[in-house]
Amino acid sequence: MKDRRLLGYLFVFAATLLVPAVVHDTFLLRVFTEAVMWIGLAVTFDVLAGYTGYLNFGHSAFFGIGAYTTAILMVRAGWHFAPAAVLGGAAAGIGALIAGFPTLRLRGAYFAIATWALARAIQQLVLIMDVTGGPDGMRLPAFLSPRFFYYVMLGLVGITFFAYWFLLERAPFGLKLKAVREDEQGAKALGLNPTKLKMQAFILSAVPTGIIGGVFAYWVTFIDPASTLGDLVSDQALVMVVFGGMGTLVGPVVGAILIFAFKTAFWAYLSDYEVLYIIILGAVIAGSVVFLPNGVLGVLPQRGRRNGPSPEEKGPGAVLPETEGGNSHG
């Protein structure tokens, strides 16, 4: 059953490989590339949020670190794109190591706000530094090949997705993460090291995010603090994951496609109402929490499981971690 699922994933991936053969319109290919990018950002967000229960409200920080590292290496040091992007991913990973070290030992609420504050602090830092061009941003050498970027993005996101699938759904690592998510004390008693596992998940989430940021920088050829480090990056990743279904690999992909389609349509017709888009994002986040606790995937009829979702499908932390007093209510 599960391996049939892998076949399905591979089939979808193979189908996306053929997109440039069918789509010749440059603009449309751009839209597809961006859709793939958002799938990547949503999936990387969910590795941490869904599998460990730690929300990274500063996802944009790692995307931006990757983008800026790549841009600085290419523009100021004259590096080639590929090693620069890889180093961008490494920089994001180091950022995760530094940010996660004090916060991942603590409860999820600390982590959520600390990463959020980190993203703002980094944005501030980029604005005042010289090497990043400050508020003016950076212009990268242009390489105008929509096909090249589509395949790079697709390859990157595809590798990330299948690596995650193997690590989280097939290897013991995924089970360990879920054990920590469900009951940290219990996991500790079984000899697991929760902080180390959470840190590994955080780095696993940050490195691909950084590389995606690097590819994004080279692709759009111009980056500034707002486009790479702005709140919108984190907000959109969050809404895609929450709307699609947290704690699964397919949920964020579906969420990313739906929200991105909406975004594209919205910007095409209502680009003057940027603020309205933010309001809608907020409403979708809050509404999903209230009405779709398992995302849109949760409301689809599930084959062979008519008696409600299994604990695994219930989303992150079906068993409460770290609440004193449990979830009693008067």
Q: Which of residues 4-63 bind other proteins (CB under 8 A)?
A: 49, 53, 55, 57
Residue 245 DSSP symbol: -
First-residue to last-residue Cα distance in the chain: 43
Cβ distance to other proteins smaller for residue 56 or 69: 56
Residue 128 near residue 12, CB atoms below 8 Å: no
Please tell me whether residue 109 binds other proteins under the rule CB under 8 A.
yes
Dig out the tokens for 286 from the structure. Answer: 């809050």
Residue type present at position 160 = T
Q: Which listed residue (12, 82, 276, 300) binds other proteins by CB under 8 A?
A: 276
Q: Is residue 222 helix, strand or coil?
A: strand
Please tell me whether residue 296 binds other proteins under the rule CB under 8 A.
no
Q: Distances in Å between the alpha carbon of 306 and those of 229, 254, 302?
A: 43, 22, 7
Cβ distance to other proteins smaller for residue 112 or 220: 112
Tell me how far apart the alpha carbons of residues 260 and 89 are, in angstroms, rounded to a whole number.
24
Q: For every residue of 93-161, which 3-state class applies, written as one string?
A: HHHHHHHHHHHCCCCHHHHHHHHHHHHHHHHHHHHHCCCCCHHHCEECCCCCCHHHHHHHHHHHHHHHH
Q: Which of residues 87-106 bind other proteins (CB under 8 A)?
A: 101-103, 105-106
Those residues with Cβ within 8 angstroms of residue 1's Cβ, 6 or more apart along the chain or in another chain: none
Binding piece for other proteins, criterion CB under 8 A, among 160-168, 190-198, 222-230, 239-247: 239-247
Tell me how far apart the alpha carbons of residues 113 and 102 are, in angstroms, rounded to a whole number.
13
Residue 243 near residue 292, CB atoms below 8 Å: yes
Q: Which listed residue (242, 253, 254, 297) binds other proteins by CB under 8 A?
A: 242
How many residues bind other proteins (CB under 8 A)? The answer is: 64
Q: Which listed residue (172, 191, 304, 330) binds other proteins by CB under 8 A?
A: 330
Please tell me whether residue 108 binds other proteins under the rule CB under 8 A.
yes
Binding piece for other proteins, criterion CB under 8 A, among 24-32, 40-48, 79-87, 275-283: 275-283
Residue type present at position 83 = P
CB of 184 to other proteins, least distance (A): 12
CB of 173 to other proteins, least distance (A): 20
Binding piece for other proteins, criterion CB under 8 A, among 16-24, 35-43, 65-73, 290-298: 290-298
Q: Distances in Å between the alpha carbon of 279 and those of 33, 188, 230, 286?
A: 26, 41, 16, 11
Residue type present at position 280 = I
Q: Which listed residue (118, 199, 204, 237) binds other proteins by CB under 8 A?
A: 118
Cβ distance to other proteins smaller for residue 8 or 282: 282
Q: Which listed residue (125, 163, 175, 190) binds other proteins by CB under 8 A?
A: 125
Q: Which of residues 175-204 bind other proteins (CB under 8 A)?
A: 181
- By the criterion CB under 8 A, which residues form the site for other proteins? 49, 53, 55, 57, 101-103, 105-110, 112-114, 116-118, 120-121, 124-125, 127-128, 181, 231, 235, 238, 242, 246-247, 275-276, 278-279, 281-290, 293-294, 314-318, 320-330
